Amino acid sequence: MENLSLFKFDDQQFRIFADETGNPLFVAMDVCKILGYANGRDAIQNHCKKDGVVKRYIIDSMNRNQEVSCLTEANFYRLLLKSNMPAAEPFERWVMEIVLPQIRKSGQYQNTAINKIPQTYAEALRLAADQAELIEKQDKIIQDNKPKVKAAEILLLSDDSIDVGSFAKTIGTGQNKLFAKLKDEGYLIKSGNKNNLPYQRFIDQGLFSVQEITRTINNKIKLFRQTKITPKGQIHFTNKYSTR
């Protein structure tokens, strides 16, 4: 028998099944919505492995049996890694540190105020202590991530793209090391007259821009192109590479 746990993250519905072995199965439409994927079907097709997408049934508000796609834990993390939403990191921590440990322990996410009615004074004290501990953990995750989320929100609202060298300093690495890493991971072109420029698909994704600048060399004006990291790219690569 599989259990279905229902709860909310940032006022958005989030549902997880626990199968007979205690492994979580995440309702795909909920995950995609929280992580900001406009087209959930495309996100799953592009980022998830087919054998990690399974079908389950949920009773809707009209008491109908509705089929939904669910993701294994591995596919859940694949969508997390590809998301550029500021909420992705606190969402990941909350799921990993609070939700999944409870599912693996009991087979279901426990909203103790609903699922357990104390029968004795001792049970009431234990329930109160458990609730206080859970609230404390949730508050800590929220407070720890507030600066990161706020910074990300500010970046997304700005139009300030910066060069690779300047960005490298903000994440605690060197310009050459960052260029090498971006090339090794396929973001930047490695050689030729487009050396150090981003591939077009990453420009289209909003991670980079290219600025044309002119310089006078030996009394001749020459045109150069410089790679810039956009605000969206700064958030993405900070989460990916930051050593601070």
> Hey, what are 126's tokens?
């234990």
Distance CA 37, CA 26 (A): 15
Say which residue the tokens 């706020």 belong to.
150
Q: Quote the pLDDT of residue 42.
A: 93
Distance CA 166, CA 210 (A): 15
**DSSP class of residue 83?**
-
Range of the domain at 198: 162-241
- Strands 3-9 and 53-59 turn out to be unpaired
Q: Alpha helix locations (H) across the chain?
A: 28-34, 40-47, 73-82, 88-94, 100-106, 112-115, 121-157, 164-170, 175-184, 200-204, 231-241
User: Number of structural domains, the chain?
Assistant: 2
Q: Residue 45 carries which side chain, given as an amino acid letter?
A: Q
Give pLDDT tens digits for 177-187.
999 999 999 99
Report the mean per-residue pLDDT for the chain: 78
Give pLDDT tens digits for 34-88.
998 989 999 999 999 999 999 998 887 788 888 999 999 888 988 888 888 877 8
Based on the domain organization, do 133 and 20 belong to the same domain? yes
Contacts of residue 152, Cβ cutoff 8 Å, sequence gap at least 6: 86, 235
Based on the domain organization, do 124 and 86 belong to the same domain? yes
Q: Quote the pLDDT of residue 216.
A: 76
Based on the domain organization, do 21 and 142 belong to the same domain? yes
Based on the domain organization, do 130 and 117 belong to the same domain? yes
- pLDDT band with cut points at 50, 70 and 90 for residue 176: very high
User: Taken in order 199, 202, 207, 213, is the CA torsion positive or negative?
Assistant: positive
Cβ atoms of residues 23 and 12 within 8 Å: no
Based on the domain organization, do 14 and 40 belong to the same domain? yes
Residues comprising the chain, all counted: 244
Based on the domain organization, do 136 and 204 belong to the same domain? no
Distance CA 172, CA 243 (A): 6
Say which residue the tokens 């999944």 belong to.
100
Cβ atoms of residues 161 and 152 within 8 Å: no
Q: Quote the pLDDT of residue 164.
A: 93
Q: Quote the pLDDT of residue 110.
A: 46
Q: Quote the pLDDT of residue 113.
A: 39
Based on the domain organization, do 173 and 226 belong to the same domain? yes
Judged by DSSP in three states, 193 sits in helix
Judged by DSSP in three states, 105 sits in helix
Based on the domain organization, do 44 and 61 belong to the same domain? yes
Distance CA 152, CA 234 (A): 9
Distance CA 80, CA 33 (A): 12
Distance CA 83, CA 77 (A): 10
Give pLDDT tens digits for 85-137.
877 888 887 887 777 777 666 554 444 433 444 455 565 566 566 656 655 66
Q: Quote the pLDDT of residue 58.
A: 87
Based on the domain organization, do 150 and 167 belong to the same domain? no
Give pLDDT tens digits for 148-158.
554 554 444 45
- Residue with the larger pLDDT of the pair 24 and 110: 24
pTM assigned to the model = 0.45
